[in-house]
């Protein structure tokens, strides 16, 4: 897979740039160029799907679409990193390189055809994020977040490996297409198979913050730098659900139906735990962490209701969610630098002095809440439609109730910006061109997809 090679070589080049002070300013444009090159290669490969590396990886429309989503999200996060990166770490080039390595792991996760490549991609992505979470060496909360994420991640990686071992023992292959044929003909139905599926399910649920395996998420998101939290909320989730759906839709469609009761309980727990906890948060960063858990519940509904529309539903939802989340975390980063706080109170009076930024923040909140004419609304619409088609009407009702709950805490941000006066004077913020460009791009695409969701509605059909 050529985009993975391009990202890796660019990351290595970035590390060499860090050796010379005069070349450090080139790190951001070179890494962005590497991402742009990878996107161009991915687009070119659209009409040339093929297995690669002895069928370890398969390049198809599914993997290409999810890979482009990962690359775009990574590029946007790099673009908003420029201003505050010096405050996070003096190792600027290393930060960009680790982001590139992590993104390359994500590309492998959405393209694997062999379960060993799923493990390799997951570890490349995860180890990179462990480092990023603790990149602020003098920040005790960051160090705690990195250690907690590393310990929990290592434990669930072992669970994933054990699950893969059981699947291999039951089917005699690591290839997910061969595994699908063996299971379809009933040659591998055994306790080992079901145990393997459950263990892999648990490991993937941990990676995408599905309850009750979400317990690490609020503390790790809170302790990590805002930029890293944005990366975990978007790129890691896209890669995680991309791998989740690829494995279960190809290899385990019949078994997924047998696990429908278990998956339904996981969906309900994730939605209620995420939304109820988000309602009571005073820290916006922690609120976004819990809301990210609830969004994982919506995307898990598409895994439960596996069908031809599931891939499109999760892709559209992930794109809308990622665009709004990058905007929200980016503006939160700017406000946090100005006020020294990520609480809701830091946004008091923000709309009066910074109406454009506040308007962008409001649009991102409306999209996350699923308000019509935003990308987030149609993301929820496609998820609910797909779930209704499989007659999970009760779950759709639960989803609607939780969507209404989400409106309350997302609108708290809008009210804080436009309808509450600050005791302290809020200066007009002067942000860099890269930040302004990233915010405008994410906001415009969020609105365009709200008016024209058909741009991505059938991209994988």
pLDDT digits (tens, 9 = 90+) for 371-382: 988 898 988 988
Average pLDDT over residues 170-176: 88
Average pLDDT over residues 37-55: 81
Domain locations in the chain as residue ranges: 259-461
| pLDDT tens per residue across span 238-269 | 999 999 999 988 888 877 778 888 889 999 99
If pLDDT is split at 50, 70 and 90, which confidence band does 425 have?
Answer: low
If pLDDT is split at 50, 70 and 90, which confidence band does 273 have?
Answer: very high
The owner of tokens 């080049």 is 13
Average pLDDT over residues 48-68: 82
Average pLDDT over residues 170-175: 88
Higher pLDDT pick, 236 / 421: 236
| pLDDT tens per residue across span 296-319 | 999 999 888 877 777 888 888 999
Q: Which of 80-84, 155-159, 188-192 has the lowest mean pLDDT?
A: 80-84
Average pLDDT over residues 399-413: 91
Q: Work out the percent of the chain whose per-residue pLDDT is above 70.
A: 94
| pLDDT tens per residue across span 2-35 | 888 888 899 888 888 777 777 777 888 888 899 9
pTM of this prediction exceeds 0.85 = yes
Q: What is the pLDDT of residue 354?
A: 82
Average pLDDT over residues 66-79: 91
């Amino acid at each position: 897979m050529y985009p993975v090679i391009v990202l890796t070589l660019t990351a290595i080049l970035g590390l060499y740039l860090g050796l010379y002070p005069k070349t450090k300013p080139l790190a951001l444009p070179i890494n962005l160029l590497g991402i742009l090159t990878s996107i161009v290669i991915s687009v070119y490969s659209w009409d040339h799907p093929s297995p690669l590396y002895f069928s370890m990886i398969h390049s198809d429309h599914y993997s290409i679409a999810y890979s482009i989503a990962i690359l775009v999200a990574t590029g946007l996060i790099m673009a908003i990193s420029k201003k505050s990166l010096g405050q996070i770490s003096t190792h600027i080039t290393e930060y960009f390189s680790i982001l590139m390595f992590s993104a390359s792991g994500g590309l492998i996760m959405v393209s694997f055809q062999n379960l060993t490549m799923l493990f390799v991609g997951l570890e490349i992505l995860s180890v990179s994020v462990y480092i990023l979470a603790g990149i602020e060496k003098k920040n005790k909360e960051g160090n705690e977040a990195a250690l907690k994420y590393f310990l929990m991640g290592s434990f669930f990686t072992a669970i994933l490996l054990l699950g893969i071992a059981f699947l291999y023992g039951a089917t005699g292959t690591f290839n997910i297409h061969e595994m699908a044929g063996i299971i379809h003909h009933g040659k591998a139905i055994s306790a080992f198979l079901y145990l393997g599926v459950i263990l892999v399910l648990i490991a993937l649920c941990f990676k995408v913050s599905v309850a009750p395996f979400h317990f690490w998420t609020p503390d790790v998101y809170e302790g990590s730098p805002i930029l890293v939290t944005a990366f975990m909320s978007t790129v890691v989730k896209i890669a995680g659900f991309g791998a989740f759906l690829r494995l279960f839709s190809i290899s385990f469609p019949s078994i997924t139906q047998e696990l429908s009761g278990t998956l339904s309980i996981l969906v309900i727990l994730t939605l209620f735990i995420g939304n109820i906890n988000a309602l009571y948060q005073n820290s916006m960063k922690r609120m976004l962490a819990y809301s990210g858990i609830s969004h994982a519940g919506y995307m898990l509904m598409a895994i439960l209701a596996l069908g031809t529309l599931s891939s499109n539903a999760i892709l559209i939802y992930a794109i809308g969610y990622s665009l709004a989340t990058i905007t929200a975390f980016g503006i939160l980063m700017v406000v946090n630098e100005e006020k020294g706080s990520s609480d809701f109170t830091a946004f008091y009076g923000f709309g009066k002095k910074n109406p454009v930024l506040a308007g962008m923040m409001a649009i991102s909140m409306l999209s996350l809440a699923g308000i019509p004419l935003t990308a987030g609304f149609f993301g929820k619409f496609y998820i609910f439609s797909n779930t209704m088609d499989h007659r999970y009407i009760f779950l759709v009702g639960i989803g609607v109730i939780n969507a209404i709950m989400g409106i309350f805490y997302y609108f708290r941000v809008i009210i804080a910006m436009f309808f509450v006066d600050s005791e302290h004077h809020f200066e007009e913020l002067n942000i860099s061109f890269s930040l302004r460009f990233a915010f405008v791009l994410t906001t415009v695409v969020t609105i365009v997809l709200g008016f024209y969701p058909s741009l991505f509605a059938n991209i994988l059909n």
